[in-house]
Structure formats: structure tokens, C-alpha cells
């Protein structure tokens, strides 16, 4: 009897070309499908809550798969962690209702972007932060982060996507948007209804431009209000500093 299994995954995205399967390239989804297909004895499809970009990390990505194999969920979790590479861990596995969909059932997501501000970045941190030791007006950046809260058209902050041909809305709701400093680390955390391709990295890039004095909060607001007529911001922060923190249901 087929069962729907919800998986919560944590991964270091450094050595992967993002979540989505790509022929001939290592991806999180592809690696997971290979291992699960071996357990199932036939090809299976894994669906995720969203597509993290190449080099982006996750604390709690959510995915789902339908299996005929009767292996209990706790045993499946142990088997997956035995067979998966060490930079991908399954932190939870549980049976859910047959129609559960990680993306369509999600009510919100939280991302965090980390910037290391000191002159020398420890080698142990370099894969997980954007090292930016240059002068920035941090108070201006902190104040500007609040501009993104609410319902906005994020066309200016989205990279071109094959889904654009479908003509979908680029309006997203942002519930919270904050920048905080803790020691050497400057962290941007954002929670929203959903996110467009490269959206968080472009928001961080925009905030960095505020810190450099090239833009201000009013400029960011104008980009949001311009909607489909907006010019692309074009200042995406590097992927290595970005983490998917959680998905809400």
C-alpha cells in the first residue's frame, strides 16, 4: 500500500547545483531520489517546498515522496542517513496524508542571509557567509530592511525564470524583514508567503547598496512600487551566505 512520507532535510549546498534535478550535475533532489529509488526498488519522484539555488544551504527543507515499501518511518530515516552523503541529513521522516504537497501546502518560509564583517574571515566560516569587511552604513541598512514588509511586487528583485512564461504574479507578502548584528556577523532574516528566484539574494544586494550610499530606503520603496515596470536591481549577493531556515504549514 502506497504511503506519503514527509521528509525534513538539512544540507550544505556548497557542492550542489541547487535543489532541482539537472542532468549530469549533482543536486539535492537528484541525490535524494537516487537513494530513495534504491530503497524502493524502482524510480521515485521527490517533491520539495521550493528550489534552493546552487550553493544555498538549508536547516529544514521539506520534501515528500510516495513509497510502496513498508519500511517504518524511523527506519527509513536511519537508512537514508546511512546512504546519503554526509552533507545531506534527514532530520525527520513521518507519514502524512496522501495529498500532502510541500510547496502548495506551505503557508510561509523563513530565510537568513549571513554577512561576515571583520577583516579576516575564519576559514571554517568561509563557505557559509559573504565576507564583506568594507565600510557600510549599517544603521541605514537596518532601517531600510523594514521597507520590504507587506504585500509588494518583487519584479525588480527577481531573476529571470522559466516560469515567467506562465505570467504568474510576482506579488509576495513579507511578514518580517530584519537585519541584526551579533559580534562579527550581520544577518538578514526574512519570513514571507513565498519567494521568487534570487529574491532574497537581491534584497540583500539592495541593502548592501544602501550601506554603500548608492541607494536609500526610498529608492528600494520605489522599486517595489514600480511593479512590472521596475528595472532589475542586478546586485545579487553570493549564494553561500543564504540559508533556508524553516517552512511553515
In the set 53, 105, 137, 151, the catalytic residue is 53
H-state helical runs in the chain: 28-40, 73-83, 138-144, 199-212, 217-226
Q: How far is CA 135 from CA 23, 119, 157, 207, 211, in A?
A: 42, 11, 24, 13, 8
Note if 151 is an active site residue: no
Q: Which of 99, 103, 20, 92 is nearest to 66 (CA)?
A: 99
Per-residue cell: 141: 541598512
Closest of 44, 45, 63, 61 to residue 101, by C-alpha:
63
The dihedral built from the CA positions of residue 8, 88, 127 and 209, taken in this order, carries a sign that is negative
- Distance between CA atoms of residues 25 and 136, nearest Å: 37
Q: How many CA atoms lie within 13 A of 105 on its CB side?
A: 14
The alpha carbons of the chain give a radius of gyration, in whole angstroms, of 19
Catalytic residues: 53
Amino acid at each position: 500500500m502506497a504511503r506519503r512520507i514527509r521528509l525534513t532535510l538539512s544540507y550544505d549546498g556548497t557542492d550542489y547545483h541547487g535543489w532541482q534535478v539537472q542532468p549530469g550535475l549533482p543536486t539535492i533532489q537528484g541525490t535524494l531520489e537516487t537513494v530513495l529509488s534504491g530503497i524502493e526498488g524502482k524510480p521515485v519522484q521527490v517533491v520539495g517546498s521550493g528550489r534552493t539555488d546552487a550553493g544555498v544551504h538549508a536547516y529544514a527543507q521539506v520534501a515528500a515522496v510516495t513509497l510502496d515499501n513498508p519500511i517504518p518511518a524511523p527506519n527509513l530515516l536511519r537508512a537514508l542517513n546511512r546512504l546519503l552523503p554526509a552533507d545531506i541529513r534527514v532530520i525527520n521522516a513521518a507519514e502524512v496524508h496522501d495529498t500532502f504537497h510541500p510547496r502548495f501546502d506551505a503557508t510561509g518560509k523563513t530565510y537568513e542571509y549571513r554577512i561576515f564583517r571583520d577583516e579576516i574571515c575564519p576559514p571554517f566560516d568561509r563557505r557559509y557567509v559573504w565576507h564583506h569587511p568594507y565600510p557600510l552604513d549599517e544603521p541605514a541598512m537596518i532601517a531600510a530592511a523594514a521597507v520590504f514588509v507587506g504585500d509588494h511586487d518583487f519584479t525588480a528583485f527577481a531573476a529571470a525564470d522559466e516560469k515567467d512564461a506562465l505570467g504568474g504574479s510576482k506579488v509576495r507578502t513579507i511578514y518580517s524583514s530584519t537585519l541584526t548584528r551579533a559580534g562579527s556577523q550581520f544577518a538578514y532574516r526574512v519570513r514571507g508567503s513565498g519567494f521568487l528566484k534570487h529574491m532574497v539574494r537581491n534584497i540583500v544586494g539592495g541593502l548592501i547598496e544602501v550601506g554603500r550610499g548608492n541607494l536609500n530606503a526610498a529608492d528600494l520603496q520605489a522599486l517595489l512600487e514600480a511593479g512590472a515596470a521596475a528595472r532589475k536591481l542586478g546586485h545579487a549577493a553570493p549564494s553561500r551566505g543564504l540559508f533556508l531556515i524553516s517552512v511553515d504549514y
